[in-house]
Amino acid sequence: MSTRERILDAAAELLRTRGVAQATTKEIALASGVSEPTLYKYFGDKERLLLAVLEERLPGPSRVVLRPGEGDLAETLTDLAQAYLDFYQRSFPMFGALLADPERMAAHRVALARHGGGPERPAAGLAAYLRAEQRHGRVSAFADPDAAAALLVGACFHRAFLRYYAEGPDASPAPRSFAEALAASLLNSL
């Protein structure tokens, strides 16, 4: 396994168990068997490492291939909904303490923005996809892609939070039937 992969694996585990606010780059370096300068060589800073963990170690919407005008729209939206559900459920443990500390949260927000990250990305990406589907005539010209994206992503976030709240960090994944119901409901409005 490469050094980068070892760092990502260690970071994913420590961020999941200790959270973004508590896990340090020193701990991550130690757990991955590298020096802190080596960690910074690969990732530059903690926020870039966090983004890499979110994109490469958590199931997420970036793993769903979007081909506007192709394939089954209901299946694509179901795949996206499932990816959002899984992603949010697995990422909640990482951000709890960070959300409770306004000063750290502000610094984190600035750092993520510097790297092109942030919580608005999932809805923005889905809205862009829906606009592309509008151009292909597969989504009504009267539909509001931004509102539709907010509805789907928000519903996934809410359901993932409820599962995490009820079952904790090792909650079972949301059933695909729920992702299918969300996609079907959204399609009815599009």
Residue 3 confidence (pLDDT): 93
The 3-state DSSP class for residue 110 equals: helix
Residue 94 confidence (pLDDT): 78
Q: Which residues of the chain have pLDDT under 50?
A: none
Residue 107 confidence (pLDDT): 78
Q: What CATH number corresponds to the domain at position 130?
A: 1.10.357.10
Q: Where does residue 30 rank: exposed (0-12), middle (13-18), buried (19+ CB within 10 A)? A: middle
Rounded distance, CA 68 to CA 144, Å? 17
Domain count within the chain: 2
Residue 9 confidence (pLDDT): 94
Whether the full predicted model's pTM is greater than 0.95, yes or no, is no
* Token pair belonging to 139: 């989504």
pLDDT digits (tens, 9 = 90+) for 93-126: 777 777 777 887 787 788 778 767 777 888 999 9
Residue-number span of the structural domain to which 77 is assigned: 58-189
Contact 54, 91 (CB under 8 A): yes
Q: What CATH number corresponds to the domain at position 20?
A: 1.10.10.60
